Amino acid sequence: MPDAAIILTTKLFGAAVTSLVTEVAMHSLDSDGEGMTTTQYHALRYIRLHNCPTAGELAEALQISNAAVTKLIDRLEKKALVIRGTDPADRRAMRLRLSAKGQKLATRFSDAEKEYFNAVLARMNPSEAEALQRGMSGFLKAVLLTPEQIDRICLRCGCEHMEDCLGNLQYCYLTGSSKKNV
């Protein structure tokens, strides 16, 4: 049975990454992002990383209702961050994309996250950073047991899909195909 300290450390790690990274990204904003909520931030990040998602896909990714995502999109559209468009394959479906202003803001979020992680890792000695990477890789392999779990995590990841991403590698192991090709 796992040691209680390991469980608590893992929970604390998850909470720290989730809240601190979002906080750092939110503080990177200027007047373009004034009044942004964390849900709006996550929506911009999702739209940036997923080519023209539908409102339903965004709702699923953010784990909110269709009614809530409609209000969210309305607010993002009012701030000139998101543009709704029709799907060429199905005119009834609406596709979302970032405006130039939204793209600029989402890029700034991403850059702030990367800077934060680089600064944190720079404060660690190399053996600690390597141990963290090995430990987290082992943890993710143990927890990501189905393609559906990987899909849920990838929807919230915030990193561009990369061939050597552990989520993609685990997805390949489970399904025989790359996440990138799905």
CATH number at residue 60: 1.10.10.10
Which candidate, 158, 156, 148, places its Cα nearest to that of 179? 148
What is the total count of domains within the chain? Answer: 2
The predicted-structure confidence for 83-140, as pLDDT tens digits, reads as follows 999 888 888 888 999 999 999 998 888 888 888 888 888 999 999 999 988 998 888 8
Residues 106 and 131 in one domain: no
Identify whether the C-beta of residue 84 lies closer than 8 Å to the C-beta of residue 96.
yes
Q: Which domain holds residue 43?
A: 1-123
Which candidate, 22, 30, 52, 154, places its Cα nearest to that of 104? 30
Residues forming beta bridges with residue 54, ordered by sequence position: 95
Residues 43 and 85 in one domain: yes
- Could you tell me the two tokens for 159? 């990193």
The phi, psi pair for 70, rounded to 5°, reads -65, -45
Given 74, 107, 123, the domain boundary residue is 123
pLDDT over 80 at 65, yes or no: yes
Residues 3 and 90 in one domain: yes
pLDDT for the residue numbered 77: 96
Residues 28 and 58 in one domain: yes
C-alpha distances in Å from residue 32, one per residue of 8, 62, 76, 160: 38, 22, 12, 23
pLDDT for the residue numbered 38: 85
Residue 93 in 3-state DSSP? strand
Residue 26 in 3-state DSSP? helix
Given 89, 107, 123, the domain boundary residue is 123
pLDDT band at 73 (very low <50, low <70, confident <90, very high): very high
